[in-house]
Amino acid sequence: MSTSEPSSSNFIKTIIDEDLESGKYQKVITRFPPEPNGYLHIGHAKSICLNFGLATEYKGRCNLRFDDTNPTKEDDEYVEAIKEDVQWLGFDWGKEPLFASDYFEQLYQWALQLIKKGKAYVDSQNAEEMRVNRGTLTQAGTDSPYRNRSVEENLELFEKMKNGDFPDGSHILRAKIDMAAPNMNLRDPAMYRILHAQHHRTGDKWCIYPMYDFAHGQEDSIEGVTHSICTLEFEDHRPLYEWFLKELEIYSPQQIEFARLNLSYTVMSKRKLLQLVNDQHVEGWDDPRMPTVSGMRRRGYPAAAIRSFCERIGVGRSASWIDLSVLEDCVREQLNETAFRRQAVLNPLKVTITNYDKIEQLDAPNHPQQPERGSRKLPMSNELWIDRDDFMEDPPSKKKYFRLGPEREVRLRNSYIIKCEDFIKDENGEVVELKCSADLDTLGKNPEGRKVKGIIHWVSAQHAVKVPVRIYDRLFNQENPDKAENYLSALNPDSLQVTEALAEPSLLEAKAGETFQFERVGYFTVDSKDSAAEKPVFNRAVTLRDTWAKMK
RNA sequence: UGGGGCGUCGCCAAGCGGUAAGGCACCGGAUUUUGAUUCCGGCAUUCCCAGGUUCGAUCCCUGGCGCCCCAGCCA
């Protein structure tokens, strides 16, 4: 499956090691429990790598379980997308994925059990009344007037709720715990609400649906999960998680919380990502600018890069902010190994080689560090395109600059060394063409007596193919978009720039999903949606590291 | 001002009473037909602050300070 992931220690492994050693558990069973109400994002990837990673490392199992307890927000489209993403990330959940909805009957029976035990009651206050009577952070709540209904009455009302005799919101099943509890979650939390909604799997079979708190622990219990790993916000829910399992007298897994991922220049809430999609600020969940797994896949981020990112950032309990550049660096790390090298010019400047009048098919390696991966033919002629950035009429520092300039020499990547003899300007004073001479004795070898440090990429004008290229930048231009008055105001208007590249002809054969390094520029992936045979459209996954840009 | 957490290098993160791992970033230097990659070297006398216990504290105690989460019939 995935390559070697050494994986450093973290506090969760310490807990598991202790549990294994003390004999509390003999095996490790985890689970990844997404709600199918949106696409997976990089934050989910962290949880996936953690949960599946632990299962692999301890030779246990990790279940993929859809937490589909709220039919008003869930959809099969999301189920399918989530399955694809988990698989693509390189993980295996075994036979079939599991669903909370498969446990609805059992959950219902358990609710009856708590009612009979006097631990649950049907409340008939409306939502507003419940809110008011819940109290505040510093004031205890007050008991509902319906709190002491008899078991019989509760049973009867709950039965009617189940049968669909009541409209949404008219009644609710609550756990009878303590309206004065300092932990708000224990102030008689809701267990079941009435929802006359079509469920993506059970259709209209149910009119009542369990709340997260009344479902999650029992789901874990049914599946024999040993370590139920979730994010920090659920820490306050743990006493409730344990309360239900204890009152139900069933096996109680251990919940462990870790800090969720925060990535700079992006938002991570599904609600906001959904809004970006619905309001068409992006082209869809898999828009290459989205922090979704599918967006990153389309952008050209390899699964291995996402895994190594998750390994690199570690797992802890303190709120952490990871810079987007860390992710990009993981992408480079992978792509540098795997991507074939090609030449393409994004911002063309014409060059005429004055002493060269033939056409040659030069040999250029697919990957200089991996010669066994072969080579391709690179056509060379006397009219070329190079990148505008590689010429300066007046270089700043004679010493530090080693690109093209008047009287300067430079190596054409995979070709000859050329010297700029002259340059031509248009009426606006802009350089439009360079006249260069080539040292014809420098193909595949260095000249004697002088060193030419600069190397530039190029493409033969008559052979070049025009290909659409999409340059992506961060979706937001504020480090923490959530800190803006409205996160939408932090959207980067220039996050997508559509342009064209003049590319070497071999790139015409590029297949959807393939990634190439355009030498000295960056990594570009053939878009899987908008490309056709012989008509590749390229997405820039990430630039190359550029220390020269930093020096300037 | 109720409850639950967190605070170790610029960013993550080990450490669990015996004298500060590692990764990334950064800074040097070497190799290089990608100013990329690779390679070598450097990079916390100090662990939010102040007291205390101890032969010895990042780890224990006390008191501060700062930050995060909780008042959905969302998960």
Confirm whether A270 is a catalytic residue.
yes
3-state secondary structure (DSSP) of residue A256: strand
Q: Which helix (H) or strand (E) holds A78?
A: helix A76-88
Nucleic chain B contacts, protein chain A, residues 21-40, CB cut-off 7 A: 33, 35
3-state secondary structure A342-374: ECEECCEEEEEECCCCCCEEEEEECCCCCHHHC
Cα separation, A292 vs A208, whole angstroms = 32
Residues 518-547 of A, Cβ under 7 A from nucleic strand B: 519-520, 544-547
How far is it, in rounded angstroms, from Cα A510 to Cα A536?
Answer: 6
What are the strands, taking DSSP E only, across A109-159? 120-123
From the candidates A5, A13, A35, A350, give the one annotated as an active-site residue: A35
Q: How many CA atoms lie within 13 A of A471 on its CB side?
A: 13
Q: Which of residues 66-105 of A touch strand B (CB under 7 A)?
A: 67, 69-70, 73
Say if CB A218 and CB A245 are below 8 A apart. yes
* Closest of A266, A252, A315 to residue A295, by C-alpha: A266
CA distance A219 to A225: 9
CA distances in angstroms from A542 to A138, A325, A500, A525, listed in the order given: 50, 10, 17, 10
Does ipTM come in above 0.90?
A: yes
Contacts of A483 (CB under 8 A, 6+ apart): none
**In whole angstroms, what separates CA A542 from the centre of its chain?**
15
Nucleic chain B contacts, protein chain A, residues 393-422, CB cut-off 7 A: 400-403, 411, 413-415
- In angstroms, the CA of A25 and the C1' of B68 are apart by 32
Kindly calculate the radius of gyration of chain A based on its CA atoms and give it in whole angstroms: 31
- Residue A253 CA and nucleotide B48 C1' are separated, in Å, by 35
Which A residues between 307 and 336 have a beta carbon under 7 A from any strand B atom?
A: 312-323, 325-326, 329, 332-333, 336
**A137 is near strand B: CB distance < 7 Å:** yes
- As given in the structure block, the two tokens for residue A373 are 């991966």
Distance, CA of A386 to CA of A85 (rounded, Å): 39
Are A326 and A313 within 8 A, CB to CB? yes
Mean pLDDT of chain A: 96
Q: Please give chain A's pLDDT, 552 residues, in tens.
A: 333 344 678 999 999 999 999 999 999 999 999 999 999 999 999 999 999 999 999 999 999 999 999 999 999 999 999 999 999 999 999 989 999 999 999 999 999 999 999 999 999 999 999 999 999 999 999 999 999 999 999 999 999 999 999 999 999 999 999 999 999 999 999 999 999 999 999 999 999 999 999 999 999 999 999 999 999 999 999 999 999 999 999 999 999 999 999 999 999 999 999 999 999 999 999 999 999 999 999 999 999 999 999 999 999 999 999 999 999 999 999 999 999 999 999 999 999 999 999 999 999 999 999 999 999 999 999 999 999 999 999 987 656 899 999 999 999 999 999 999 999 999 999 999 999 999 999 999 999 989 999 999 999 999 999 999 999 999 999 999 998 889 999 999 999 999 999 999 999 999 999 999 999 999 999 999 999 999 999 999 999 999 998 887
Check residue A288 and give its pLDDT.
98
Looking only at Cα atoms, what is the longest distance across chain A? 101
Strand B positions with any atom < 7 Å from protein CB?
Answer: 1-8, 11-16, 21-27, 33-38, 67-75
A481 φ/ψ angles, rounded to the nearest 5 degrees: -55, -25
Residue in A238, A143, A152, A158 with CA at minimum distance from that of residue A192: A158
* Strand B atom within 7 Å of A232 CB: yes
Q: Which of A119, A260, A350, A545 is catalytic?
A: A260
How far apart CA A296 and CA A16 sit, in angstroms, is 32
Reduce the DSSP state of residue A293 to 3 states and report it.
helix
> Is residue A201 annotated as part of the catalytic site, yes or no?
no
A136 touches strand B (CB under 7 A): yes
Q: Strand locations in A243-347, DSSP E? A: 254-258, 261-263, 320-322, 340-342, 344-345
Q: What share of chain A is helix, strand, coil (3-state, %, to 5)?
A: 30, 25, 45
Contact of A91 with A55, CB cutoff 8 Å:
no
Determine how β-strand A417-425 pairs with β-strand A409-412.
antiparallel
Q: Are A225 and A63 in contact (CB under 8 A)?
A: yes
The pLDDT assigned to A398 comes to 59
- What pLDDT, on a 0 to 100 scale, did the predictor assign at position A484? 86
Phi, psi of A62 (to 5 degrees): -130, 120
Are residues A289 and A492 in contact, defined by beta-carbon separation less than 8 angstroms? no
- Please say if A35 is a catalytic residue: yes
Residue nearest to nucleotide B32 (CA to C1'): A453
What confidence tens digit (pLDDT) does each residue in A90-146 have? 999 998 999 999 999 999 999 999 999 999 999 999 999 999 999 999 999 999 999
Q: Pick the catalytic residue: A162, A174, A187, A270?
A: A270
